[in-house]
Amino acid sequence: MATKKHEYTDDKIKSLSSLEHIRLRTGMYIGRTGNGLHFDDGIYILLKEVIDNAVDEFIMGHGKQVEITIKDNEVTVRDYGRGIPLTKVVACVSKINTGAKYNDDVFQFSVGLNGVGTKAVNALSSRFLVRSHRDGHYAQAEFKSGVLVNEAKKGKTDEPNGTFVSFTPDPAIFSKYEFLEEHIERRLRFYSYLNAGLRFNYNGQQFQSTGGILDLIEDETSFEKLYKPFHFCDKTLEIAFTHTNRFSEEYYSFVNGQYTNDGGTHLSGFREGILRGVNDFAKKKFSGDDVREGLLGAIAIRLKDPLFESQTKNKLGNTEIRSMIVTRVHEAVLKLLHGHKPKAEKLINKILETQKFRKELQTVKKLARERTRAISIRVPQLRDCKKHYKRKSAENQNTMIFITEGQSAAGSLVSCRDVNTQAIYTLKGKPLNVWDLQKDALYKNVEIFNLMKSLDVEESIDRLRYNHVVLATDADVDGLHIRNLMITLFLRFFPALVERGHLEILETPLFRVRNKKKNTYCYSEAERDAALKALGRGCEITRFKGLGEISPGEFKAFIGKEMRLSPVRVDGEFAVSETLAFYMGKNTQQRRHYIMDNLVINEEDIQ
């Protein structure tokens, strides 16, 4: 029998205003809220929704500049488009399903077709102000948490036409957030690539592109492209692509200026169209894997009625356009290859080399698998856990594998871990430096092969068995070297594992400061000094040099609720290959000169 609390009666039915609904069901409108660390966190979606309106104006031929400032979490965006019609300023930012995005005469290729954008920004901001300048007059409205606090102001102005929006994401919705410069700059770079000629001024920086997404591919492959990128552009389709010596394929896909980071039908059509175009040109039947290994491409389409699989528009769902995209890309690629024969020859040579190496790799794979079957059914270095991660499932998000060095450290971890969610993989000394090696190194080196099998990423990163891949090395020079070698391994052969945020570093205390009453674990010299000051005289200080020096009883706290994990992030992504080649490559003499030229000697260390 149902309790009164759960009875389904008239008084349980609630009617919310549209803005109340946005605040109550935030995820329906902007996806994740987050704290600003992730590129797709809600605060960036709010910024995007406002900038999208400025970009839509540019697409329709109005305004060539957007000014953006962010200071103390207050965001301002000023465009120089037509400005919101003055009598509709309040309605356009507060009433759902109100706007001009439904009218093809006003906005032909807009992302914001659902009339929610700035309404969501308004509803989810502690303060929101909009001002429209139009033909010598202005109208302004101010809101708090989506509620109009001042009657709309109107008057005359000398300001040029356009719209000014100022907002502060509501701390009640987005707790403890901060805007990260790299995420904002990345968005603005994408906007500039997709809207050649539109200038973005952000906190003193300028973002502008003249070459469109060709500039995107040029920048992303600055140090590693095998030939100058191919580029095609017309009113509704733009593509660019080149090959690198990477082992993965990577794409940037856009619809009406929106970055669809989960791809969709336009991206699958792009990939198929490239394959068909290359095979027609070469009169071959290359496999998709051979053609696309090392490929870095971008596609941008303009579509009147885009259908996205979520409010945040990360994936395009228009199935009816796929065949059209395949045909158009196929024709464009064929024309580009015939029109640029020297580049086309380099592309075909790259594919032939990949095809040859893939056949050789099959033999190496077979030998490696036979070797492991002969030794053991199980990976000897792995102490597995009971639960495993599945990417598209909400379960087992806290599963992790600690990659550690030496038996003593592994012993401490094994004795105090959570056997349900925490696995241990023990390295036998320093792993192989793989930066200058090919994919066969994954199979010829037993330790790397066993690690790859433990993670189950041989075929696809989507099969990763643990959500957190944690490097747990000593806090000394050798430990740092091992950590760098492992990071190099993942960036070289499994970059998606790093890009998706799976690779992390376990922070363990460097010091223990204790007196007769209390132990304090310190992760830096500053924390050590603060602990000494707090605990007073007569303290004992222990410096932990290796994980094996920390007893299992102590270690349990460091991999439990108080665990500190630092994500391995790729910032300034254009220079990743060049940076790794410099620090991990065979240019020993060049590195030695660099170290000697930049060496800073600490007198305290000498003493």
Q: Where are the alpha helices (DSSP H) in 4-116?
A: 18-24, 26-30, 42-59, 89-94
Is the pLDDT reported for residue 271 higher than 90? yes
Joined tokens for residue 365: 């794979």
* Locus of tokens 């037993």: 446
- In this prediction, residues 553-582 reach a mean pLDDT of 77
What single string gives the DSSP state of each residue in 313-340? --SB--GGGHHHHHHHHHHHHHHHHHH-
Q: Return the amino acid letter for 574.
A: F
> For residues 419-438, b (16+ Cβ closer than 10 Å) or e, as one string?
eebbbbbbbeeebebbbebb
Tell me phi and psi for residue 447, to 5 degrees: -65, -45
Specify which residues 264 forms β-bridges with: 316
Question: Nearest Cα to 480, choosing from 502, 521, 450, 510?
Answer: 510
Give the residue with greater pLDDT, 110 vs 500: 500
Domains and CATH numbers, the chain: 18-207 (3.30.565.10), 213-354 (3.30.230.10), 382-508+549-606 (3.40.50.670), 511-543 (no CATH)
Question: Is residue 124 within 8 Å of residue 175, measured between CB atoms?
Answer: no
Taking the C-alpha atoms of residue 575 and residue 577, their distance in angstroms, rounded to an integer, is 6
Going by the DSSP 8-state scheme, the letter that residue 319 receives in this structure is G
- Please check the confidence at residue 266 and state whether its pLDDT lies above 90: yes
Note the pLDDT tens digit of each residue in 141-175. 999 988 899 777 899 999 999 999 999 999 988 88
pTM of the model as a whole:
0.70
Hey, how many other C-beta atoms are within 10 angstroms of the C-beta on 355? Answer: 16
d(CA 295, CA 347): 10
Q: In the prediction, which pLDDT does 168 show? A: 95
* Cα 236 to Cα 247: distance, rounded to the nearest angstrom: 31
pLDDT category, 11, cuts 50, 70, 90? low
Which residue did the predictor score with more confidence, 187 or 223? 187
Distances in whole angstroms, Cα of residue 242 to Cα of each of 68, 446, 486: 33, 34, 28
Residue 462 CA to residue 444 CA, distance in Å, equals 23
Element containing residue 242 per DSSP (H, E) = strand 237-243
514-552 tens-digit pLDDT: 988 888 988 888 999 999 998 888 899 988 877 877 888
Give percent above pLDDT 70 in the chain.
88
Q: What is the pLDDT of residues 316-336, one digit of tens each?
A: 888 899 999 999 999 999 999
Give residue 10's identity as a one-letter amino acid code: D
Q: How confident is the model at residue 471 (pLDDT cuts 50, 70, 90)?
A: very high
Q: What's the confidence (pLDDT) of residue 116? A: 61
Over the stretch 391-429, which tens digit does the pLDDT of each residue have?
777 788 899 999 998 777 788 888 889 999 999 999 987
Given a cut of 90, whether residue 208 has pLDDT beyond it is yes
The beta strands (E) that lie in 420-514 are given as 422-427, 468-472, 503-507, 511-514
pLDDT level of residue 26 (50, 70, 90 thresholds): confident
Tokens of 252: 């940037």
Q: Which residues sit opposite 132 in a β-bridge?
A: 139, 163
Give 491-544 as a 3 state SS string.
HHHCHHHHHCCCEEEEECCCEEEECCCCEEEECCHHHHHHHHHHHCCCCEEEEC
Q: Is the pLDDT of residue 209 over 50?
A: yes
User: Rounded CA gap, 199 and 67, in Å?
Assistant: 9
Tokens of 294: 């090392």
